[in-house]
Amino acid sequence: MYSGKARAYTNIALIKYWGKENQELIIPMNNSLSLTLDAFYTETNVTFSEDTSEDLFYLDNQLQDSKATLKVSRFLDLVRAKAGSSLHAVVKSQNFVPTAAGLASSASGLAALAGAASAALNLQLSSEELSRLARRGSGSACRSIYGGFAEWQKGDSDETSYAVNIPSDSFEDELSMIFVVVNDAQKDISSRDGMQRTVETSAFYDGWLQTVPQDLAKARKAITDKDFTALGEVTEASALKMHGTTLAATPPFTYWSAESMKAMNLIRQIRTSGLPCYFTMDAGPNVKILVERKNEEALLNALKDQFDPQQLVVAHAGPAIEVLSEEEA
């Protein structure tokens, strides 16, 4: 019997990834840059055993159906191939997330699975190798191997597509991210389907793709200079451009809701009034706001005038993936 446990935290892309160049290997069309957060994480325990005749997957103590288990099994096949093992496994994952936070679990979930499975079979992977492995489960998971800021370098092959940590002199500790949860229901159009439709049909997609290198350069410089305004401006611009590409897809679609628009307009008003803050959005209606930690309370108070306090979730920079001992897990 071989067991491993790991804890990984979710991340939010400040410079977005939108679209895959290689669907099977999950190689993206562009680099992306993210901030790992402490508000949501996944703990996963993987036990390989000769006594287990098939892979079993439990999520939050519930045995999952064959579709969910198949995704886990396919990922475990990659780990088994690296280790030269044919053992089946029992996977037990627990998501720790604020109630109705509307946070996707794929980044933390697949990063934790990669860490736990590779620890169980004693693969002793470097951060780069673990990032490559996690990417095969979910693209954004490759960034959750690292704490703070990370950049997913798209590369052009399985060997060259992985995330790296971005040195920041602890700039991330000066930041907060506030989530405005306007809807935590399942999306009408999944990220995977939305990406593919946009890449294949959007008249705006090529224009967005051409601007990503400049946005990345601005974000990297802002992190080096500890320039919050510059980082906020490019973060907001990247999100708006990405969402703009969906409006020119065939058929067109959007992840925004009326409440999303209300939140974005409110953030602009708050910023105009003199409190620096900037929004970003992923493939869903919930709005995330980047703000300096010193202004966190003031922003929360302003948001509470328009949104229920239960809709607001505060996050700070989160740590890198952790391999856990029995006592910690």
Secondary structure, 3-state, the chain: CEEEEEEEEEEEEEECCCCEEECCCCEECCCEEEEEEEEEEEEEEEEEECCCCCCEEEECCEECCHHHHHHHHHHHHHHHHHHCCCCEEEEEEEEECCCCCCCCCHHHHHHHHHHHHHHHCCCCCCHHHHHHHHHCCCHHHHHHHCCCEEEEECCCCCCCCEEEECCCCCHHHHEEEEEECCCCCCCCCCHHHHHHHHHHHCCCHHHHHHHHHHHHHHHHHHHHHCCHHHHHHHHHHHHHHHHHHHHCCCCCCCCCCHHHHHHHHHHHHHHHCCCCEEEECCCCCCEEEEEEHHHHHHHHHHHCCCCCHHHEEEECECCCCEECCCCCC
Q: Are residues 265 and 125 in the same domain?
A: no
Q: Are residues 94 and 184 in the same domain?
A: no
Q: Are residues 30 and 141 in the same domain?
A: yes
Q: Are residues 194 and 141 in the same domain?
A: no
Alpha carbon distance 9, 321 (integer Å): 7
- Residue 326 is predicted with a pLDDT of 59
Beta-bridge partners for 203: none
**Residue 323 belongs to some domain of the structure:** no
Q: Are residues 11 and 28 in the same domain?
A: yes
**Residue 271 belongs to some domain of the structure:** yes
Q: Buried (b) or exposed (e) across 204-239, using 16+ Cβ within 10 A?
A: bbeebbeebeebbebbbebbeeeebeebbbbbbbbb
Count of domains for the chain: 2
Write the pLDDT tens digit of every residue in 226-243.
999 999 999 999 999 999
**Residue 230 belongs to some domain of the structure:** yes
Which residues touch 306 (CB under 8 Å, ≥6 apart)? 262, 263, 266
Amino acid at 159: E
- State pTM to two decimals: 0.95
Write the pLDDT tens digit of every residue in 144-175.
999 999 999 999 999 999 999 999 999 999 99
Q: Which domain holds residue 301?
A: 171-315
**Residue 329 belongs to some domain of the structure:** no
The residue assigned the tokens 């997913």 is 152
Token pair belonging to 5 = 């446990």
CATH of the domain at 311: 3.30.70.890
Instruction: Mark which of 170, 203, 226 sits at the end of a domain.
Output: 170
Q: Are residues 86 and 183 in the same domain?
A: no
Amino acid at 271: R
Alpha carbon distance 45, 4 (integer Å): 6
Residues of the chain with pLDDT under 70: 98-104, 184-186, 326-329
Write the pLDDT tens digit of every residue in 306-316.
999 999 999 99
- Residue 101 is predicted with a pLDDT of 57
Q: Are residues 137 and 199 in the same domain?
A: no
Instruction: Mark which of 170, 200, 229 sits at the end of a domain.
Output: 170
Q: Are residues 297 and 230 in the same domain?
A: yes
**Residue 239 belongs to some domain of the structure:** yes
- Residue 329 is predicted with a pLDDT of 44
Instruction: Mark which of 170, 198, 226 sits at the end of a domain.
Output: 170
Alpha carbon distance 6, 117 (integer Å): 9
Q: Are residues 175 and 158 in the same domain?
A: no
- Residue 103 is predicted with a pLDDT of 67
- Residue 184 is predicted with a pLDDT of 67
Q: Are residues 141 and 154 in the same domain?
A: yes
Q: Are residues 9 and 76 in the same domain?
A: yes
Q: Are residues 148 and 293 in the same domain?
A: no
- The rounded percent of the chain whose pLDDT value lies above 90 is 91
**Residue 213 preceded by cis peptide, ω within 30:** no
Q: How many Cβ atoms are within 10 Å of 69's Cβ, its own excluded? A: 18
CATH of the domain at 110: 3.30.230.10
